[in-house]
Chains A and B, each alone.
Chain A
């Protein structure tokens, strides 16, 4: 095959974010994109499943739901109704380290979202009569996850990979914890974590930064803040392979292999990302080319890098093709891992991964709301949004030797958890 193409001409343009901090500690990040008359307002609280003590798993997410159930000023569902009538789109999500509320609106009406977010940052009612049905809703959401063929499978994987670290806990929470949770628990959680000093607000889209900042100050400037401290937990080394089986009412088995990796700020983070791209990004990646197309072993296979604030994992999830034993698929995946350990990698493959990283950096800027989420994610997980701009360079520095070294250091039998999802019942 001939590739007479060298990737030198393209240099990436760093993104520009305007950063401010109000006197009460609220971090404000503004990203201007004037392509379309749309603004995304996103409020991120620095709280998620990581912060939840045993017995209160799922509380951050249940609070997220209750945030739509009324404040002193606006009744239940008024938030949805008002954004809706303005033609906006809105929702929220909870993850390991953050709870994010977002609304996308036409540019002349984004102040509405600022006003409503400032209101529910301080005036949530959390009425018992609203709490009871909403808890049922969240329990149905948990059931939905359990009935997904792979939901419980991934939950068990985390639970076994991390024995002590809060990363073992599912964001949705355990059913018994949800059952036992009281309105007061959730209200106290709100009071503790929701204040300007524990939040980041991102405004992304067709705004002028001075005007956006003025509006943020107007609505959030007088809210009082309390400093929130975060405990740091760690997980001891794994020291031995862990294996589990899950039997379910499915027709096709599935496989997960999870290696303990590093936290998001670790220098090896870039190497894991390049490895992920070589193995499973695009149709010419090794997994898709070799294990799906050439050998017909997998119906689907993907690698995932989940590097968080304090620790991380590198995972592979695969579904065998009909007639292929799950054991042989597992073995062949290790074959691909071994190739990395032996340094079996061409310059073109490495360059392709780098080229993809750079173009993805550009492609991502297509969406202003997507950029807003990325800015918030990097700010909260790595400590600064500025790390987004260091990312392409970090990837470009990765060498073949780095890949061989990281593969040998982390992709070891004693450092992995392996799960089989098997048909039965």
Chain B
């Protein structure tokens, strides 16, 4: 057998839960391999993840990370984009290039017997992309048209405006696909430079979940990925701007409802108070129909179908949104109720509510791994968020040790009612929203 040059530093997790084990290995070039074997069906989920997400988009070229990863499926030095894709889809496998704030990924799903082909193709597209200018122009036109048509959806338009209002020039200010105004400012040289900067094995990892044999999988990864050359990756360090005052933005649309987005900065991936913050949100607006926001806005008053709140967190920042869609006449009442509930949760949360949240999070945990796909999602999160390979084993303890004071401290830290952003997409006037000191941005 060929010698395998892998550093074997595996740890076991979830051994007591759904009985799945994650192994973490790495190649000499720094590429990390996270794998978990399962043998329910003859299928594998494979992801190649590079820490080259939309956070790294330069200002004025938002959308670059997206175009870069999507170009990887548009041809290599040895085959055209069509040949590359046919090779995968003819087997009934599928492949997608996606971008998120923290990372870009190429995700594939195939029958087990095609694992080697898939790994070979992933290695090829990430080491030898052709970056043909005509393919790039076509992709750029398509992506630009897609963003413009997405903005016709009031929900999407509201989210885009909210992030811009909240983060100003900080690079979490845009959806991962970029702004409609900046996608066309990017050229093929930008793509090549971005690729050269961030696409390195020491800035990437592979996730493989499903039906494979560990020894042969490792040989394949070694064979295809060890030629990928290690290099230095630039560090980005930027400070999140201070959030000062109450900022509002209205987008007028001829529609029957107002889409309301209200929020602040939130914890990032490393925040130690993430779990209390999340449990606070569960009580506020994260627990479906039983949350406080749903009870007040939907159940008691029938003001909305959709009412929610959530934290979105990343490596370099995060945000909180409470949102609702209600008929235009009810917009002010809904905003007032959101503010009232946020103000209430800063002061008052009961032991019973805390215990309910604990029962939900501990009882719900095993439901997050009942498919290969969810297992792959979980493994990706553990690595990106730096949760630690023993996260699943620590999870119940992390939840159960949260006290009322921790939740109150998180609420006070993140939910400051003197500094917030409010975006409304709908057919109303600014004057119909009665918030003192709200500064409407044009």
Interface residues of A (CB under 8 A from B): 1, 3, 5, 7, 9-10, 33, 35-38, 68, 76-77, 80-81, 84-89, 104-106, 109, 132-138, 140-141, 143-144, 146-149, 205, 248-252, 254, 282-284, 289, 292-294, 296, 299-300, 319-322, 348, 351-352, 355-360, 362-363, 365-369, 425
Contacts and interface: CB of A to CB of B under 8 A. Distances in A.
B92 A3 contact: no
Contact of A140 (B253, B305, B367): B305
Contacts of B364: 87-89
A37 B304 CA distance: 35
Given A87-B360, A147-B256, A251-B152, A35 B38 contact: yes
Contacts of A366: 40-41, 43, 371-373
B83 A1 contact: yes
A129 B104 CA distance: 50
9 contacts: A10-B113, A35-B370, A87-B367, A137-B305, A140-B306, A140-B325, A140-B326, A252-B152, A363-B41
Contact of B154 (A10, A88, A147, A360): A147
B356 A85 contact: yes
Nearest to A82: B290
Interface stretch (B142-150, B269-277, B411-419): B142-150
Contact of B359 (A87, A348, A363): A87
B154 A299 contact: no
B18 interface: yes
A365 B305 contact: no
Given A132-B302, A136-B302, A321-B141, A87 B152 contact: no
A369 B42 CA distance: 19
A37 B109 CA distance: 23
Contact of B93 (A299, A359, A368): A359
Contacts of A33: 40
A299 B142 CA distance: 5
A358 B92 contact: yes
Contacts of A36: 18, 366, 369-371
A355 B370 CA distance: 26
Contacts of A143: 256-257, 325, 327
B255 A249 contact: yes
Contact of B363 (A106, A133, A147): A106
Given A299-B145, A367-B370, A35 B138 contact: no
Interface stretch (B119-127, B168-176, B193-201, B293-301): B293-301
Interface in B272-292: 287-290
Most buried by A among B38, B85, B89, B306: B89
Contact of B304 (A77, A105, A140, A362): A140
B18 A84 contact: no
B81 to A, nearest CB: 8
B91 to A, nearest CB: 6
A38 B81 CA distance: 41
Contact of B288 (A84, A105, A289, A351): A84
Given A76-B299, A84-B356, A321 B366 contact: no
B73 A137 contact: no
A368 B302 contact: no
Given A88-B364, A106-B367, A143-B327, A322 B148 contact: yes
Nearest to B330: A140
Contacts of A80: 288-290
Contacts of B299: 76-77, 133
Contacts, number: 211
Contacts of A106: 363, 366-367
B151 interface: yes
Given A3-B90, A143-B257, 16 more contacts: A9-B113, A36-B18, A36-B366, A36-B371, A80-B289, A84-B287, A87-B361, A87-B364, A88-B364, A144-B257, A289-B82, A300-B146, A348-B90, A352-B86, A359-B91, A359-B93
A296 B149 contact: no
A348 B288 CA distance: 47
A135 B303 CA distance: 10
Contact of B89 (A148, A283, A322): A283
Nearest to B210: A366
A365 B40 CA distance: 9
B149 A319 contact: yes
B302 A144 contact: no
A278 to B, nearest CB: 12
Contacts of B153: 148-149
B94 interface: yes
Interface residues of B, number: 74
A362 to B, nearest CB: 5
Contacts of B288: 80, 84
A88 B363 contact: yes
Most buried by B among A68, A147, A360, A368: A147
The 5 A-B residue pairs whose C-beta atoms are closest, nearest first, are A87-B363, A136-B302, A359-B92, A133-B302, A299-B145
A147 B255 contact: yes
A296 B325 contact: no
A140 B42 contact: no
Contact of B94 (A282, A299, A320): A282
Given A77-B290, A84-B290, A356-B89, A296 B41 contact: no
B111 interface: yes
B367 A38 contact: yes
A299 B143 CA distance: 7
B87 interface: yes
Contacts of A368: 370
A68 B83 CA distance: 52
Contact of A84 (B87, B90, B360): B360
A147 B157 CA distance: 12
Contacts of B257: 140, 143-144, 147
A320 B110 CA distance: 31
B232 interface: no
Nearest to A206: B370
A82 B73 CA distance: 47
A252 B148 contact: yes
A38 B363 contact: no
Contacts of B141: 296, 321-322
A136 B271 CA distance: 40
A33 B372 CA distance: 13
Contacts of B87: 3
Nearest to B144: A322
B142 A296 contact: yes
Contacts of A289: 82
B365 interface: yes
B85 A284 contact: yes
Given A1-B86, A5-B91, A80-B290, A367 B371 contact: yes
A205 to B, nearest CB: 8
Most buried by A among B94, B138, B289, B295: B289
A5 B327 CA distance: 57
B362 to A, nearest CB: 7
B405 interface: no
Given A36-B18, A144-B305, A284 B92 contact: no
Contacts of A351: 90
A162 B292 CA distance: 43
A352 B38 contact: no
B129 to A, nearest CB: 16
Contacts of B41: 362-363, 365-366
Nearest to B149: A252
Contacts of B235: none
Interface in B331-379: 356, 359-367, 369-373
